[in-house]
Structure 1
């Protein structure tokens, strides 16, 4: 038995363990590249190949394709939310804040057109984790309460805002009849008419604390 033990001890030592979080990030990077190439037709086999891994490594990190897309949506939602929060902190005048919000969403769609086609529907659904509309709903709720309006309007307004912007930018991505700045101006003009009519000119949002985690309720961030 001692001979067997000695022979085993002379074998190749085990390599370092895999960092699960690093592996997931590696696969999310690969998924982004696959979607940028193949759009909605991307597959997990292509993600594994691009990452230099096997399909079993993908399934060790994500339960299935839907699980991977959920995490990828969360990643980009975090980036968008931080971008919007930073933009809202940079300007104080409500109309300028509205334009900055429109521009953050339009810029993300312009720079990630194929990714947006896959992730945008997920970002628009529901409230909470990985939902851009959930974030905007809570920002609008604070604004409506501040001017004595109906905070229940925040939910439909958030969805109308995001839907209008993404529909318009999707059209613009193909038509390209103007530059992004002009597009954002036109959308802002339309959106602001509604906001101003509801007393939006009187809204003064408190500064948001950055960085923002998607585990933190946005109302808590706004109320700090």
Structure 2
């Protein structure tokens, strides 16, 4: 597994099985004694790579920070992990080698699993904060999935374009998220426009 990660870092997300085997100092048949097929190898490597990328994020969830600082820290940790391991990010997120019979790429399962994992942790965090403030926590899960999706897609866009610094992106996303959450966290009701003609 370590050899596979090294090969991805060296050769990029389109690394071949032969390159991974060479990095491990074995032949392809020996490599396949440990994995049933290429899709199994890619799934295992994607799981390990995703774990590396998440290791920076999870500790930030438990830090006792004011809400806006915690938001900034979470976004910063997520983007720092992606920036430090861009080849692993692209391997997990963008490799499109399908499984058997044209099935979805094995990485897509890993991305979906980790997306739900992060959103689940954020749901708990939002729920606890809202309840502690005596506010309605009914929207916590929807907000969590929306926030994770926004940061994930913005981060992917940024890694490919690099039109601003990581710090600037963290600031922009923090501002947008905090403005959206500060109302519910303070109990501000959603203002609904009156229907036309009323």
TM-score, normalization by structure 1: 0.64
Structure 1 residues 194 and 169, CA gap change in structure 2 (3 angstroms) = farther
Q: Which residue of 1 aligns with 2:77?
A: 104
Instruction: Please state whether the residue corresponding to 2:65 is helix, strand or coil.
Output: coil
Select which of 114, 128, 134 maps to 2:116.
134
**Which structure has the larger Rg?**
1
Q: CA deviation at 1:152?
A: 3.9
Structure 1 residues 48 and 125, CA gap change in structure 2 (3 angstroms) = closer
Cα distance in 1 for residues equivalent to 2:61 and 2:122:
12
Please give the residue correspondences for 1:66-215 in structure 2 after superposition, counting only pairs within 5 Å: 66-120=39-93, 122=107, 125-127=111-113, 131=114, 133-146=115-128, 147=130, 148-149=136-137, 150-153=139-142, 154-172=144-162, 175=163, 177-178=164-165, 180-199=166-185
Contact kept, 8 Å, 2:13 with 2:90, in 1: the verdict is yes
How many residues were matched structurally? 166
Q: CA deviation at 1:170?
A: 2.9
Instruction: Please state whether the residue corresponding to 2:12 is helix, strand or coil.
Output: helix
Contact kept, 8 Å, 2:49 with 2:88, in 1: the verdict is no
Instruction: Give a deviation string over 1:167-207, Cα, whole Å, max 9, x none.
Output: 223322xx4x43x33332222222322232332x79xxxxx
Contact kept, 8 Å, 2:17 with 2:38, in 1: the verdict is yes
TM-score, normalization by structure 2: 0.71
Q: CA deviation at 1:53?
A: 0.4
Contact kept, 8 Å, 1:81 with 1:135, in 2: the verdict is no
Residues 141-150 or 96-105, more deviating? 141-150
Instruction: Please state whether the residue corresponding to 1:92 is helix, strand or coil.
Output: coil
Structure 1 residues 50 and 162, CA gap change in structure 2 (3 angstroms) = same
Select which of 33, 37, 44 maps to 1:60.
33
Contact kept, 8 Å, 1:137 with 1:158, in 2: the verdict is yes
Cα distance in 1 for residues equivalent to 2:75 and 2:156:
10
Instruction: Give a deviation string over 1:90-130, Cα, whole Å, max 9, x none.
Output: 34211111111111121112111122111135477433xxx
